[in-house]
């Protein structure tokens, strides 16, 4: 079953596809605004506590953060290639590429877990639980609380994205998608790329910038 069904309110498949794409972009825009509140808090508190934020950024593991950046960029590549594959009527190849993307997502979450564990051992906990003796200032506590909120919300999105890509991968391997019926794979891919874009900004803000 490879032909997409045309809903009665649309004149043709092209218009139906564009409506679905526009709807997906609207959803991604609202996701951006969800993260936007936390980004605004980060900017405001960084302006209030520049020195404490710089010290706290320097404490985070650049090795883990940078590795995770490369892992997510590569997973975006495999997702983009899977869209290319299903458009070229190679759904099995697309399914394998999507499965690889889910695996890369799992690597990202595992590295994030290693990092969280190290922070917990140091007593770096969000809000009232903050017990890190090395950086006792209020600004550092605020930084790490925002760090947990930003990376936690992002990790939730990674998990949701992995579920979505896993479902699409299964569909591709079962032959549910093919050239001409590739919209679901494309839209699921858009979600994953947004997760990648959020991390592209989180990486310099949480790991790099400490002038």
| Interacting residue ranges for another protein, rule: CB under 8 A | 18, 21-22, 25-26, 28-30, 32-33, 35-37, 39-44, 47-48, 62, 66, 69-70, 73-74, 76-77, 79-81, 83-85, 87-90, 93, 179, 186, 189-190, 193, 196-197, 200-201, 203-205, 208-211
Q: Enumerate the β-bridge partners of residue 108.
A: none
Least distance to another protein, CB of residue 21, Å = 6
Least distance to another protein, CB of residue 200, Å = 5
Could you tell me if 190 and 24 are in contact, meaning their C-beta atoms sit under 8 angstroms apart?
Answer: yes
Complex with another protein: residue 29 or 129, whichever CB lies closer:
29
* The token pair that represents 37 in the structure block: 């509140």
CA distance 58 to 187: 37
Q: b/e string for 23-56 if b means 16 or more Cβ within 10 A?
A: ebeeeeeebeeebeebbeebeebbeebeebbbbb
Least distance to another protein, CB of residue 126, Å = 21
How many beta carbons lie within 10 A of that of residue 125, not counting itself? 16
Least distance to another protein, CB of residue 83, Å = 8
Complex with another protein: residue 115 or 196, whichever CB lies closer:
196
Complex with another protein: residue 155 or 202, whichever CB lies closer:
202
Q: Enumerate the β-bridge partners of residue 181.
A: 178
Least distance to another protein, CB of residue 159, Å = 20
* The token pair that represents 9 in the structure block: 């309110």
Complex with another protein: residue 125 or 149, whichever CB lies closer:
149
Complex with another protein: residue 4 or 84, whichever CB lies closer:
84
Output the CA angle 143-161-4, nearest 5 degrees: 150
């Amino acid at each position: 079953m490879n032909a997409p069904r045309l809903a009665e309110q649309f004149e043709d498949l092209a218009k139906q596809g564009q409506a679905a794409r526009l709807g997906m972009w609207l959803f991604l825009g609202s996701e951006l605004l969800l993260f936007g509140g936390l980004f605004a808090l980060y900017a405001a508190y960084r302006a209030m506590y520049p020195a404490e934020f710089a010290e706290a950024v320097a404490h985070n593991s650049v090795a883990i953060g940078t590795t995770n950046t490369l892992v997510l960029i590569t997973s975006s590549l495999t997702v983009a290639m899977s869209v290319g594959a299903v458009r070229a009527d190679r759904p099995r190849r697309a399914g394998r590429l999507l499965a690889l993307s889910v695996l890369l997502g799992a690597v990202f979450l595992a590295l994030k877990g290693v990092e969280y564990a190290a922070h917990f051992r140091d007593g770096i906990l969000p809000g009232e639980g903050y017990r890190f003796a090395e950086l006792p200032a209020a600004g550092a506590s605020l930084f790490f609380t925002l760090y947990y909120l930003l990376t936690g919300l992002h990790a939730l999105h990674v998990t949701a994205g992995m579920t979505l890509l896993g479902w699409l991968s299964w569909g591709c391997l079962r032959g549910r998608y093919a050239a001409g019926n590739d919209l679901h794979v494309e839209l699921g891919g858009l979600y994953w790329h947004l997760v990648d874009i959020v991390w592209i900004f989180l990486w310099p803000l949480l790991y790099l910038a400490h002038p």
